[in-house]
Amino acid sequence: MARRDDDGVLAKLCVEEEQHSQPGCSGGRVSRYFGPGTLTVDLEKYLETCRRSVEGRLEEYFSTSAVAPRLVEAMKYSLFAGGKRIRPALALAACEAVGGKSDAALPVACALEMIHTYSLIHDDLPTMDNDDLRRGRPTNHKVFGEGLAILAGDALLTEAFNLLADPSWNIPAECRIDIVGIVAEGSGANGMVGGQVLDLQFEGKDVGEKELEQIHRNKTGKLLRAAVLAGGRAGGAEGEFFDSLKRYGEAIGLAFQIADDVLDVTATTKQLGKGAAKDQDKKKATYPAILGLDESRRRAANLLEDSLLALKPLGKRAEALTALARYIIERRS
């Protein structure tokens, strides 16, 4: 039976008894995430609710007049190109998991999606991954040219921090300061950008497991961890709860990239919405290339278990984070 949580969270929860599905739930798909007879999150509805909230706020943010309308067009072309909005969902779910209202983390969720989108625009450039497709559409530079694509990415990164600085965001000043630091660290030279540099540096070279983990934890893992920590901090997380979120974020951050590595080998271009087998073609350092598919999947499964153990102190409020963790390694695109 669907209900809204007492804390006013986004999650639509449903009870699924063993061997049965209640109306409004999603049948066997939900039971994949949790054991039978437990209170579960309808993840599909949860992600859709998160997506609507985030995209509504982003539309509002970009509704004002701009100095360069063509720049905003390029920014919105990639920002509203679809996608699962995993990072925003993680931020909102982390806020709820520590007892906060999801609205408190909405600026974090939007800022993270802007930063993620900027990174995709730049990743696709000829000087980096040289991709023609992203989310089933021509990449930004194919539509707007390389110069404007670079500037659209630059603007998205900058506007993300402008959004976090919005004085109408009613959270304690110390939380806001912490969030800005968390997001900057996750996306900067000691996070995502640093990992991207390592990825380029080791392309076509023999890489050991230690170096591979360093690349993945930074290139992908740090921004995902930032989503969890910043969302949690918006909900007032500290002490044991903050430490739990940190362990969770570190585990799912690496698991996400391992899953991506596996999908690059096993999924089609249509499923991915971008070129398949690109990592193999460019001789990039990936888990399947070094450890094989079976071992890569085993590592992702172990990281999933680590993430779920980390959530235990948070109890039932962390059910959305639990479902997201499982989805991250079980997804097909």
Q: What is the pLDDT of residues 163-188, one digit of tens each?
A: 999 999 999 999 999 999 999 999 99
Q: Which of 163, 162, 161, 310 shows the shortest CA–CA distance to 232?
A: 310
- What's the pLDDT at 1? 30
- Does the pLDDT at position 314 exceed 80? yes
More confident residue, 65 or 204: 204
Least confident of 3-17, 180-194, 221-235: 3-17
- Does the pLDDT at position 223 exceed 70? yes
- What's the pLDDT at 12? 34
- What's the pLDDT at 189? 97
- What's the pLDDT at 9? 38
More confident residue, 108 or 277: 108
- Res. 268 pLDDT band, cuts 50 70 90: low
- What's the pLDDT at 25? 29
Interval 204-214: pLDDT, tens:
888 899 999 99
Q: What is the 3-state secondary structure (H, E, C) of the chain?
A: CCEECCCCCCCEEEECCCCCCCCCCCCHHHHCCCCCCCEEECHHHHHHHHHHHHHHHHHHHCCCCCCCHHHHHHHHHHHCCCCCCHHHHHHHHHHHHCCCCHHHHHHHHHHHHHHHHHHHHHHCCCCCCCCCEECCEECHHHHHCHHHHHHHHHHHHHHHHHHHCCCCCCCCHHHHHHHHHHHHHHHCCCCHHHHHHHHHHCCCCCCCHHHHHHHHHHHHHHHHHHHHHHHHHHCCCCHHHHHHHHHHHHHHHHHHHHHHHHHHHHCCHHHHCCCCCHHHHCCCCCHHHHHCHHHHHHHHHHHHHHHHHHCHHHHHHHHHHHHHHHHHHHCCC
- What's the pLDDT at 264? 86
By the 8 A CB rule, do 75 and 61 touch?
A: no
Interval 44-60: pLDDT, tens:
999 999 999 999 999 99
- What's the pLDDT at 285? 84
Interval 82-106: pLDDT, tens:
988 999 999 999 999 999 999 999 9
- What's the pLDDT at 203? 86
| Gap between the Cα atoms of 309 and 268, Å rounded | 33
| Gap between the Cα atoms of 279 and 261, Å rounded | 8
- Res. 31 pLDDT band, cuts 50 70 90: very low
